[in-house]
Structure formats: C-alpha cells, structure tokens
Chains A and B, each alone.
Chain A
Amino acid sequence: MLNIKNLHAELEEDTEVKILHGVDLDVKAGEVHAIMGPNGSGKSTLGYVLSGRDGYEVTEGSATLDGVDLLDMEPEERAAAGLFLAFQYPVEIPGVGNMTFMRTAVNAQRKARGQEELSAGDFLKLVRARAKDLKIDAEMLKRPVNVGFSGGEKKRNEILQMALLEPKMCVLDETDSGLDVDAMKLVSDGVNALRDEGRAFLVITHYQRLLNHIKPDVVHIMSQGRIIRSGGPELAMEVEEQGYGDILEAV
C-alpha cells in the first residue's frame, strides 16, 4: 500500500539541514508497522513529508500510495487519496469549531472522491457514535479545534478524526505520548476497531507499551534519517529493555 524508496529530504530554507537520508519502507494493506527511534532521528519529518507539509524539499527517492505518487500532490489531495497523519502535536485553531472542522473535512474528502456530501443530521449521528467510543463528550465537539484540550484529549481528537475520515493509510505520530493508561486503551481500541484488510498503519512510538495494545507486524528502527533495522514485535521488546545503544552500534 505505502511504498517508500530511498527517500531523501532536507529543509527548504536551509539545505544544509538534511533530515531523511534514504528511507525505504513497504507497508502492505492490512499490516501494522511500528517505527521507533531516538529523538531527532526523522520520524515526524517522514510523516510530514508524506503528508505534504511545506518547508521540506525531497531531493531523491519516491513515495507512493497504492501506486500513486504522493509527493506530486497537494496535502488535501493526499488526504483524499486516503493518507492520514495523526499529529505528534495537534494544532489549536481558535475560532474554528471542532464540529465545523470535521464536517468540512469529511465532506471535502467525499466531494474529492465523487461521493455525495453528508447532511448535517447524518454527520451529527456519525460523530456522536464515534465520539462515544472514544469517550469524547459533546462539550469537546463544540469547542474550537483543540483549544483548551488537554494533551490526552487532543490525541483522542486525532483518532476521532481518523475514525470519521476512514483513511486507507494511517500514520500515527506518538499518539500514545501524553495518554494515561485508560486513554491509551481507548485510543488503541479505536485503532484496532479500524484494522481492516484494506487499511494499513504506521505507528511511530517511543514505547513498547502501545505495541502491547496495537500489535505490529513489523517494527522498524529509525536513526539519522534511515531505517537501520527491521524485525518482528520482539525488536520493540529489545529496545524497551536495552535502549538503542547496541542497535545503533551494530550498524
């Protein structure tokens, strides 16, 4: 589904800052891949480059979603093509209601795919059902996007958006950080509920604990802008117990 080949990226405004140094990744439909790696190794940058954030220049390599070149598209086109990034730091947008935001997003994607837009009533029903699963109360839906939300609430709000948009390829950037034990369970249940043959996940995390809830098929270690090792779930155990020292040295 997601195919990344030799992806190189640097900062647009300072081309001396090279962040991705040849990332290779192949995530198949139905799979869950985890990416772990030290701070600053380029995990979030990978998510941003895939989703089309300004400020990065891809100098080499490719990234395709179901064979379609992602890097050539506007961010909204990538989203409509089925890519979703749950942000490490969800953005607060004062003045834009959470409901308005989500309905606009859902309908924009439906429109882009040639589907009929959802009515206000149908959308409300859909949101209420999904929000309930994630224990997001009505009050949070009424507030401006992420404004005044706690760290954990913001992360749950990301998962709510994912549940509404039903993307094919979900990239979750440290969705577990800032979550208490119960919230982690809620969020994991939310993700697991979406696991499906036609959908894949790329889960960026620092902690093995999340991977107890969301069982990965493959675990990758990223360092200095490259995937330096890949393995099964046991690789996450190894990191948890021993840190990155030996793994980084081995390369």
Chain B
Amino acid sequence: MVFPRQKLLAQKREAAEARLAPLALPAGGKWITTAREDAKARLSAMGLPVRRDEYWKYTDPASLVQAEAPAAALFDDSDESEVFDTLDPLKIVFVDGVFDPEASDDLAMEGVEIALLSEAAKADLHWARDLYGALEADGQSPVERPLAIFNTAFAAEGVLIRATGQAARKISLIYRRRDAGADVLLHHVVKVEAGAEVTVLEHGPAGARFNQVMEVDVADGATLHHVRAQGRDHERRTAAHLFARMGERSVFKSFTLTANGAMVRNEAVIWLNGKGGVAHIAGATVGEGAFHHDDTVFITHAAPDCESRQVFKKVLRHGAVGVFQGKILVKQPAQLTDGYQISQALLLDENAQFLAKPELEIYADDVKCSHGSTSGEIDPVSLFYLRARGIPEDQAKLLLVLAFLAEALDEIEDPDLADDLRPRIETWLRRRSG
C-alpha cells in the first residue's frame, strides 16, 4: 500500500511544529535573522524527515530529529596526538559547539578572511550574507534535506572563511566535547575567490549530537581541499551537510574519515556549474556493533567538461550497518562529463550489512559515467597467501583491511594529510582486532 503523500506531509509538518515550538532563533543582526526566519518558515512548510521518506529508507532519522540529543559517553582519545597537529594549521576550536578563544589561534592569516558566525552581524560581510543559507536552500531540490534547513535556522555559531589568495596555512576546525549530552549545531560558509586556494580541515566529534552544515562556493579557477576526521566517540550522532557550488576550472576535493559513532549521516550536494570543474568526494569508514553510517551524495553536472569522482569504502563488523546513496545527475549541457562512482563495503562477519543505492541520471549524450557497488568479505585466497608467508592471521587481515581502504585514502591529494591519518587508522584497527 502506498502511504498517501498528503498524509506523509501532514505527519512531517506535525513533527516540525512540535520540534520548533519550544525553540527560539538565536539572537543576531539583521541579515542573519532574515536568513534564519526564512529557514524556519521553509522548515515548517517542508516538515522534518520521517522513516517513510524515500531518502531515509535505509537510515532512521528519529534520533537526529528528536528534541533531546541522546546522551553519548565521552571517549578518551588522549592515547593519540591531535589529528593534523603536525601540519601546523591555524586552529579554530569549539568545545561542545562553543568557540574557545583561548585554545584557538588568532583568526588572521595571509590570503584569508576568517570570522565567526556569532560576530558576523557586526561586520559587513556581504559575501557571507549572500551565501548563508542560500546554497542550502538550492540544495532542497530535487531532494529535501530538512535537517540542513533546521541548521540554517538554529545554528548560533560557525566559521565564515573567505580565501582571496593562496592561504598561508591550512585551517583546522577542531570540535571537542566536554558534556555528555551536548546538542551541537555549527554552520560554516567557505568562499574561495577566483584563483584562490585553501585547505579546510575538521576533526573531532563536536557533541553527543552534531548537526553541521558547510556551504562552499569555489569560484572560477579556485581550489578547495577539505579533509575531515569525525572523531572516535562510539555513541555520538552526526548529521552533516556539505553544499558546494563550483565555477569554471575550479577544484574541490573532500575526504572524510569516520571511525565509530552510533549514527552518522554525511550528505554532500555538489553542483559543477562551470566548464572544466573537478569535484572529488571520498570517504573511509570503520565501524562495529551499534554503528550506522550513511553517505548520501548528489552531484549535478550542469556544465560541460567536468569531472566528478566518488570513492567510498566501509569496513564493517559485529552488526554495523553501512549505507551509500550516491547520484550523478548529468544535465543536457554537460557534454564530455566524466563521472565515476564506487562504493564498497568489506564485511568482516555475517552480522554486518551494507545497503547501497547508486544512481545515474543522464540527459547529455556524450558522457562517460560509471558506477559500481560491491560488498564482500576478506578474500580467503589472499589471506592464505599472506599466512603461508608466515604472517599471523590477525596481522594478515589487518593488511587486507588497510589495502581495502587504501583506494579511498589515496584520494587525499596532500601526502602530509594522508600520512597523518593512515597510521591512526592502523592503530585503531590493531586495537580492535581479535
């Protein structure tokens, strides 16, 4: 039986109404208040996601939507050095979603303007005003993303970054936790002006529940590198949205490493609007037990000669669930599109599960698009070969798991960043092995 559309909408609006009733918009200046009010109105009309939504078929949105963030035990990661620290980035630290000026560096650097969302109203940041909530709003069609609208309305903090030249240092957004119940909202805007280049890093779990939006505008000939590690806390929940609009010959490369977490939904919406743009998005995920990880990607090729790549790898065991929904939409003008998409899961036992929905929708005639999705176990022949050379079973499996993840990690262009993450994964996996 088909659930009637009207009834579904009524149910979603009801959920939104109940959720919004006790909430007040954060205080702010005029333009941000306008954007927030607009978002709130959009959300009331759209409603909040429910399990019956086609887009939430594999992932239950309940814990991301409910009023109270489910508490999540704090994870002690003092056994390892801070992620990306050796790269000497400019650090911007948030504790439970609140900016920590003591722990942060001066928000000043050659080639880049940086401001906090909470302070933005005071300054005339016309570029931020034009983008805040705008890309998110564009991203609401053809598929609804109400959690991102919620973020636009209620996020009180975030970072506004505008690169005008070659950034002198990488920027690292650091999300620490102190409170086991913190419900965190952050909304970032990144604008990379024509020809400019910057690297934005993120790491840490941010909160018991984290709703994040990053709106990215990469202008003609500009480059943005984005690498994030989402922390190791087991019980945390995350809903992250990345919206990226790309100009001619622009480059955007994004990589996400996820280990653990009760619920993670990472959405990425990318528009290749200018000729010759290059968008790569990749992820490596390791999880076990009560672990649900969802990568949902929507790439629109709207201009000719663009390249997009999606490479997602998940290692799952002990009941962990992985989800991949990835779509490439090639519009009629986007001739000579080169689109590639691969999503793979390595299931370490029969209790792990991978659900994939790869989609291609193509309206141009001269395009090269491929997608593939597989899930499988560790190859017993490879395992035997390694063991026959004297490598103990656990160690051999670890080698094969790392080999499986390598294709995703190879997507990180900067070798220093890859070198920072790779040994961590190895250490985490070694600790979990057995």
Number of B interface residues in the complex (CB < 8 A): 23
Q: How far is the CB of A102 from chain B (nearest CB, A)?
A: 8
Of the listed stretches B21-29, B62-70, B263-271, B379-387, chain A binds B379-387
Query: For window 72-86 of chain A, which residues contact chain B by CB distance below 8 Å?
Result: 74-76, 78-80, 85
* Most chain A beta carbons < 10 A, residue from B381, B387, B393: B387
Given that A53-B384, A54-B380, A75-B384 are known contacts, is A96 also in contact with B391, CB under 8 Å in the complex? no
Residues of A within 8 A of B387 (CB): 52, 74-76, 79
Of the listed stretches B104-112, B148-156, B189-197, B401-409, chain A binds B401-409
B391 touching A93, Cβ below 8 Å: no
Of the listed stretches A14-22, A103-111, A203-211, A232-240, chain B binds A103-111
Residues of A within 8 A of B395 (CB): 104, 108
Interface size of A as a range = 20 to 34
Residues of A within 8 A of B364 (CB): none
B1 contacts A by Cβ under 8 Å? no
Residues of A within 8 A of B389 (CB): 79, 101-102, 105, 108, 161, 165
How many Å lie between the Cα of A86 and that of B14 in the bound state? 68
A223 contacts B by Cβ under 8 Å? no
Given that A54-B380, A93-B400, A101-B399 are known contacts, is A76 also in contact with B407, CB under 8 Å in the complex? no
Q: How far is the CB of A52 from chain B (nearest CB, A)?
A: 7
B391 touching A108, Cβ below 8 Å: yes
B388 touching A79, Cβ below 8 Å: yes
A85 touching B404, Cβ below 8 Å: no
Given that A76-B392, A108-B395 are known contacts, is A95 also in contact with B384, CB under 8 Å in the complex? no
Given that A87-B385, A91-B382, A108-B395 are known contacts, is A96 also in contact with B390, CB under 8 Å in the complex? no
A96 touching B388, Cβ below 8 Å: no
Fill in one digit per residue for B358-396: 1 if any A CB lies within 8 Å of its CB, else 0: 000000000000000000000011101111111111011
How many Å lie between the Cα of A197 and that of B133 in the bound state? 78
A175 contacts B by Cβ under 8 Å? no
Select A93's contact among B382, B388, B405, beta carbons within 8 Å: B382
B388 touching A74, Cβ below 8 Å: no
A104 touching B391, Cβ below 8 Å: yes
Query: For window 22-80 of chain A, which residues contact chain B by CB distance below 8 Å?
Result: 51-54, 74-76, 78-80
How many Å lie between the Cα of A118 and that of B399 in the bound state? 19
Q: How far is the CB of B376 from chain A (nearest CB, A)?
A: 13
Residues of A within 8 A of B391 (CB): 76, 104-105, 108
How many Å lie between the Cα of A102 and that of B399 in the bound state? 12
Residues of A within 8 A of B405 (CB): 95
Residues of A within 8 A of B404 (CB): 95
Give the residue name and chain of the A residue nearest to B410 (CB). A95
A108 touching B382, Cβ below 8 Å: no
Closest 5 CB pairs of A and B: A95-B403, A79-B390, A105-B389, A75-B387, A109-B390
Known pairs A95-B402, A96-B386. 19 more at Cβ < 8 A?
A51-B388, A52-B387, A53-B384, A53-B388, A74-B387, A74-B393, A75-B387, A76-B390, A76-B392, A76-B393, A94-B403, A95-B400, A95-B406, A96-B399, A102-B389, A105-B386, A105-B390, A108-B395, A112-B390
Q: Can you list 27 pairs linking A and B with CB atoms under 8 Å apart?
A: A51-B388, A52-B384, A52-B388, A74-B387, A75-B384, A76-B388, A76-B390, A76-B396, A79-B389, A90-B385, A91-B384, A93-B382, A93-B400, A95-B407, A96-B386, A96-B402, A100-B399, A101-B399, A104-B391, A104-B395, A104-B399, A105-B389, A108-B389, A112-B390, A144-B403, A145-B385, A165-B390
